[in-house]
């Protein structure tokens, strides 16, 4: 048996079989008040070789989770960047499961540069007690459509978590990769299946790591935008047409990515809110923004969302409402410290 197969079999026996269960065994649903809250952590770059930094990142994540009490946690890649990676993976999964909150993890471009293969990392993520990740036939993480049920027990909103891959050499030089045609067709099929006879389609958000090329266009041309663009958009080397598929679907109202540590902006392009998360890592990789997480709050029956950044130090910034067309900043409460905002319900 090849060495890689033996290693993968060992990881499967130790970490997958005891705890694996179908992704749909933990249903996502709106609360009784009609809300659903997502916390997005991205680009943590956790390293066991820097234990004090890793401790600080976990402490910051814990504070965000305690203060926000999310209904779901999503990690959008570049989560662990150390060798050996196995111990840090197990620590991260114990941490996430300890929150008793459904969670889902995605790969970034740096995750696979460590000493574990994608199937090995995928097996670890899928084994988490509260993980919603599931595996494809090849052992890698599957792109997923996750329904959020309403108070009537029927799907009312959808989340898509998708692999934006890492690097490509197709163009003759190393560049960031892009979504493939089978992923685009899969998304189209999912959205068509959710379209009613009257043409209405349920709203959805999509999460992935590498931004679409349209993120650059959105910042340059959007009428409605907020946040910081501290570096160029590092999109895939080719425009695969994923944004066009999202726009044509009529379902995707927003996307959330990571990858670019100095960007945390949200810009609206053709009715889709293109969001960056907030860098969630430590100081051993480049960043000029205080670490934190993007929080997204949905309302059942509303084609829009409320979002803000919760920094690890406790500040809340960039509190914004997206109504499906435009952005509106939350009103500032002048009695609160700079960067804090009043939280008023979405209309």
Q: What is the DSSP string of 220-242?
A: HH-SSEES-B-S-----SS--SH
Residue 340: inside a domain, yes or no?
no
pLDDT attached to residue 7:
43
| Per-residue model confidence as pLDDT tens digits over 143-182 | 999 999 999 999 999 999 999 999 987 877 689 999 999 9
Residue 338: inside a domain, yes or no?
no
Cα–Cα distance measured from residue 118 to residue 25, given in angstroms and rounded to the nearest whole number: 24
| Per-residue model confidence as pLDDT tens digits over 237-259 | 999 999 999 999 999 999 999 99
CATH of residue 133: 3.60.21.10
Cβ pair 103, 124 in contact under 8 A? no
Tell whether the model's pLDDT for residue 13 goes beyond 50: no
How many domains does the chain divide into?
1
Residue 345: inside a domain, yes or no?
no
State the residue range of the domain holding 105: 3-329
pLDDT attached to residue 59:
97
Residue 334: inside a domain, yes or no?
no
Residue 35: inside a domain, yes or no?
yes
Q: Please, what sign has the CA dihedral across residues 243, 106, 307, 289?
A: negative
Residue 335: inside a domain, yes or no?
no
Residue 21: inside a domain, yes or no?
yes
Quick one: pLDDT band at residue 9, thresholds 50, 70, 90?
Answer: very low
Residue 342: inside a domain, yes or no?
no
């Amino acid at each position: 048996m090849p060495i890689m197969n033996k290693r993968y079999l060992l990881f499967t026996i130790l970490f997958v079989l005891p705890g694996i269960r179908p992704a749909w065994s933990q249903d996502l649903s709106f609360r009784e008040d009609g809300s659903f809250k997502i916390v997005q952590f991205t680009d943590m770059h956790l390293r066991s070789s820097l234990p004090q930094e890793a401790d600080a990142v976990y402490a910051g994540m814990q504070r965000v989770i305690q203060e926000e009490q999310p209904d779901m946690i999503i990690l959008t890649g570049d989560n662990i960047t150390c060798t050996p990676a196995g111990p840090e993976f197990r620590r991260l999964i114990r941490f996430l499961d300890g929150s008793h909150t459904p969670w889902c993890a995605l790969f970034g471009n740096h995750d696979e540069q460590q000493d574990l293969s994608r199937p090995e990392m995928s097996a670890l993520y899928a084994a988490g007690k509260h993980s919603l990740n599931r595996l494809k036939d090849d052992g890698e993480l599957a792109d997923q459509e996750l329904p959020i049920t309403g108070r009537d027990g029927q799907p009312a909103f959808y989340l898509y978590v998708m692999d934006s891959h890492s690097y490509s050499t197709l163009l003759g030089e190393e560049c960031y990769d892009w979504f493939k045609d089978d992923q685009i067709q899969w998304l189209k099929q999912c959205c068509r299946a959710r379209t009613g006879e009257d043409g209405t389609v349920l709203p959805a958000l999509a999460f992935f790591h590498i931004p679409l090329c349209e993120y650059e266009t959105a910042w340059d041309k959007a009428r409605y935008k907020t946040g910081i663009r501290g570096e160029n958009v590092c999109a895939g080397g080719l425009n695969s047409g994923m944004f066009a598929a999202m726009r044509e679907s009529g379902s995707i109202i927003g996307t959330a990515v990571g990858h670019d540590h100095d960007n945390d902006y949200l810009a609206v392009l053709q009715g889709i809110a293109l969001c960056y998360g907030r860098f969630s890592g430590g100081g051993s990789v480049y960043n000029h923004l205080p670490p934190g997480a993007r929080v997204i709050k949905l309302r059942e029956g509303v084609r829009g969302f409320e979002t803000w950044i919760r920094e690890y130090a406790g500040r809340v910034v960039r509190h914004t409402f997206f109504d499906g067309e435009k952005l509106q900043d939350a009103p500032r409460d002048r009695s609160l410290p700079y960067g804090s905002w009043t939280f008023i319900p979405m209309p």
